[in-house]
Chain A
Amino acid sequence: MLEWLFRSEFDASATVAIWSIAAVLTTTVALFVYTLGLRLTTIVGTRRRARTVRQWRSILASAVLSADAAGTLKLPIIRANNRTDVMEEWNRLRDTVGGDAADNLILLGQRMGLPAVARKRLRRRRIQSKILALQTLGHLRDAPSRSAIASYVAHPNLALSITAAVALVDIDAETAIETLIPMIAGRRDWPRNRVSLFLRMAGSELISEPMYRAIRSAKNEDKTYLLQFVHLVEPEVLEALVIDIIRGVDDPSVLSAALKLVRGYSGVPRLAALTRHRSWYVRMQAAKVLGRIGQKEHLSFLESLLRDREWWVRYRAAQAIASLPFMGPNSLRRLRDQQQDHYAADMLQQAMAEVGLA
């Protein structure tokens, strides 16, 4: 059929050109068919996923609202190629609800056979499979998987380790928190919002004591890091911890972090010494604390900070004085006029202007 191509009257270059065109055309058609196939596969896959998700969404939502539905609803068979979609859907909903609704979803998840599927996936090599498995086992509160999950907490892969940490808290917060809190300072790669999440999931009552111990025994740079999460502990433990740190630590960054946590007057120690601290940042935080505490007996400390060599300290001291509940407009004007140091008088004037008292 193609013998005309090999006729002798064609010279070599024409033959090469004709063959090249034929090859290009064939490749183009093959690529077109391949792309069409891929597109069709994607469309079919997307439709299948959408159908599965639609079908399961109403089942999951019914289970959320009723334990009866979770225990008795007729469940469709989950095909192997739909398992990931269904598991993801179940996990999303489980993330959204708490209380009885979460218990209902766990019951439904057990009826769906999710524990066995997730345990099997945890043994797979793919990271994504492991993450979905860890999340699912945590959400199922699958106690038999606890030690398997715990082995991932120290994993160098960030996503695996933090997902495992959250899953452990989901399963047994009391035991998990004792292991996890001492790890927080060493795992600075754990996103802070995920650390806050598992601390919040465990609750202030469970985390207070281990957090107190971890912060007290930590090195100074770790103390500063851990203090970011300390607002999640019980108020009385927070107060005791802050007072402890202010009393016993001299490192400026730790002291500043602790001073930021002082909310009311509860016997904060060393206040006079802090207003004379070598670090201007500590002196500035002390000025802010004195403003928040708002006690008459501390006015003299604030007056001395008003004459500090650092602009920011003078500024915060002036703002603190202007916010004191017992300092009315006349007292403020009198205090301003009494200042021998004109920098102090100017700063107080500025703070008064900010609150409309100039």
Chain B
Amino acid sequence: MLNPEHLNATPVNRVLVVEDNAHTAYLLEFMLQRVGYDPIIAANGRDALSAIDNVSPVDVILLDLMLPYVSGYQIIQDIRSNPLWQHVPIIVLSGKVLEQDIVKALDLGATDYVSKPFKPQELLARIRRVTSDADQRMAQR
């Protein structure tokens, strides 16, 4: 379930983590908190869509593809068609490693794709890169 505290949180360094595996979600939450991000955990596709409807846009989304109720692909489409959230970078973090899965996610609008098992430092570097790219785009507007 989403933490109601996040409904009005300042949109700085916030990461929406959409991950149904409790162990992976815990690790991501731990990692992100360690380096100063504020993670919001959604344990399934329905919670993720609820976050998109009820929470102000975050800085980056970490998204698993195989989720209960709503697939990760559907979530990418919903985010990209949402006027408030469409510019939020999405990093897919998935155990799906086939070329067609990666291409499909990127074609639908994912910003980056990281396969599981993942390298934590590399993932953090990718998060830093997409958030700084997004900051630069915002500054240019």
B68 within 8 A of A: no
Query: Considering only CB atoms, which chain B residue lies closest to A193 in the complex?
Result: B95
B3 within 8 A of A: no
Q: Secondary structure at chain B's binding surface: helix, strand, loop or mixed?
A: helix
**A98 and B31 contact, CB distance less than 8 A:** no
**B120 and A65 contact, CB distance less than 8 A:** yes
Which residues of B lie under 8 Å from residue A95 when comparing CB positions? 117
Show the binding face of A for B, using Cβ within 8 Å. 57-58, 61-62, 64-65, 89, 92-93, 95-102, 200
**B117 and A102 contact, CB distance less than 8 A:** yes
Of B22-30, B101-109, B129-137, which binds chain A? B22-30
Q: Which parts of B29-77 form the interface with A (CB within 8 Å)?
A: 30-31, 34
Instruction: List the 9 shortest-distance A-B pairs measured between CB atoms, nearest first.
Output: A99-B119, A61-B30, A98-B117, A92-B23, A101-B120, A96-B24, A61-B27, A97-B117, A98-B119
How far in angstroms is the closest Cβ of chain B from A94?
Answer: 8
B122 within 8 A of A: yes
**B118 and A98 contact, CB distance less than 8 A:** yes
**A65 and B26 contact, CB distance less than 8 A:** no
**B117 and A96 contact, CB distance less than 8 A:** yes
Question: 23 A–B contact pairs at CB < 8 A?
Answer: A57-B23, A57-B30, A58-B30, A61-B26, A61-B31, A62-B30, A64-B31, A65-B30, A65-B120, A93-B27, A96-B116, A96-B117, A96-B118, A97-B118, A97-B119, A98-B117, A98-B118, A99-B119, A100-B119, A101-B119, A101-B120, A101-B121, A102-B117
Interface string of B9-29 (1 = CB under 8 A from A): 000000000000101101100
**B34 and A65 contact, CB distance less than 8 A:** yes
Given contacts A61-B30, A97-B119, A101-B121, 6 further A-B contacts (CB under 8 A): A92-B23, A96-B21, A96-B117, A98-B118, A99-B121, A100-B119
Partner of B27, one of A64, A98, A99, A102: A64
Q: Complex: how many Å from CA A98 to CA B119?
A: 5
Q: Complex: how many Å from CA A97 to CA B27?
A: 10
Q: Complex: how many Å from CA A101 to CA B120?
A: 7
> Given the known A-B contacts A101-B119, A101-B120, A102-B117, are A96 and B23 also in contact in the complex, defined by CB atoms under 8 Å?
yes
How far in angstroms is the closest Cβ of chain A from B98?
Answer: 9
Q: Complex: how many Å from CA A101 to CA B97?
A: 20
Partner of B97, one of A61, A93, A200: A200
How far in angstroms is the closest Cβ of chain B from A132?
Answer: 16
**A93 and B119 contact, CB distance less than 8 A:** no
Q: Which parts of B87-127 form the interface with A (CB within 8 Å)?
A: 97, 116-122
**A97 and B26 contact, CB distance less than 8 A:** no
Which residues of A lie under 8 Å from residue B30 when comparing CB positions? 57-58, 61-62, 65
Q: Complex: how many Å from CA A71 to CA B119?
A: 19
Query: Considering only CB atoms, which chain B residue lies closest to A58 in the complex?
Result: B30
**A57 and B26 contact, CB distance less than 8 A:** yes
Best-buried of B31, B117, B121 by chain A (most CB within 10 Å): B117
**A64 and B117 contact, CB distance less than 8 A:** no
Which residues of A lie under 8 Å from residue B31 when comparing CB positions? 61, 64-65
